[in-house]
Amino acid sequence: MNLFIDAFGWIFSPDRATGSTPLLAAIGVHLWFTAVSVLIAAVIAIPLGWWIGHTGRGRNIAVFISGAARAIPALGLVTLLLLLVGVTLKTEAAIVAFVVLAIPSILAGAYAGFEAIDRSTIQAARAVGMTPWQILWRVEVPLGLPLLISGVRAAVLQVVATVAIAAYVGLGGVGFFIIQGIQLRQFTQILGASLVIVALALALDALFALLQRLVTPAGVRAERTRSKAERAETTAKRTVAA
């Protein structure tokens, strides 16, 4: 318990605002790596995922590649890329590793959002004369957004937790304090920096949870609420009957 108290004391110590690496500056670097990596991954994965979900082609290949990408250790990938491109491009090497880590979740969210749409909705859109492009942008994209945001949310959480390894190759971020703490055997500093990363992850998770709720169409939310109520009623009836 004392270790946690000391860790919070380390976080809020005036010393964290001074020195060569202030904590707020490290948080800024951490969030910058996260934002850039997820943005690049989204630019790559969202169009591909939408194409897979819209056409129904390439899903098995996407699942295989996503699974393989998830299995790659980020630190090992950063180290390998550094060996290939040299230390002068270590920032780019780290970002590539984080992008590879973020792509699977975003890709899965993009095509799963389209696949989750009731086919009768698509058929109704065709029946009223919508073109394929109109179906894509006015039906599939809006209805698929909640699952897409869910995929981005998962990717952000994975990346914000993994960006700590950027400090291993001298790129800073909150991981700097963890690496330094390990070298100096300062367990209070290690725990304090870890708690900062946890707080960042929780804050970003809450932000994307709110965004996911906002992009969910009102009709879909109402249907989910009705379905939950019906399931609860059915469960209650079975309990009474038993």
Give the pLDDT confidence of 147-178 residue by residue, as tens digits. 999 999 999 999 999 898 888 888 889 999 99
CA distance 179 to 193: 10
Asked whether residue 236 carries a pLDDT value surpassing 60, the answer given is no
Specify the higher pLDDT residue, 189 or 69. Answer: 189
The candidate with the shortest Cα–Cα distance to 30, out of 162, 153, 150, 151, is 162
What is the pLDDT confidence band of residue 234, given thresholds at 50, 70 and 90?
A: low
Q: Could you tell me the residue ranges of all domains in the chain?
A: 22-241
What is the pLDDT confidence band of residue 205, given thresholds at 50, 70 and 90?
A: very high
| Architecture (CATH level 2) of domain 22-241 | Orthogonal Bundle (1.10)
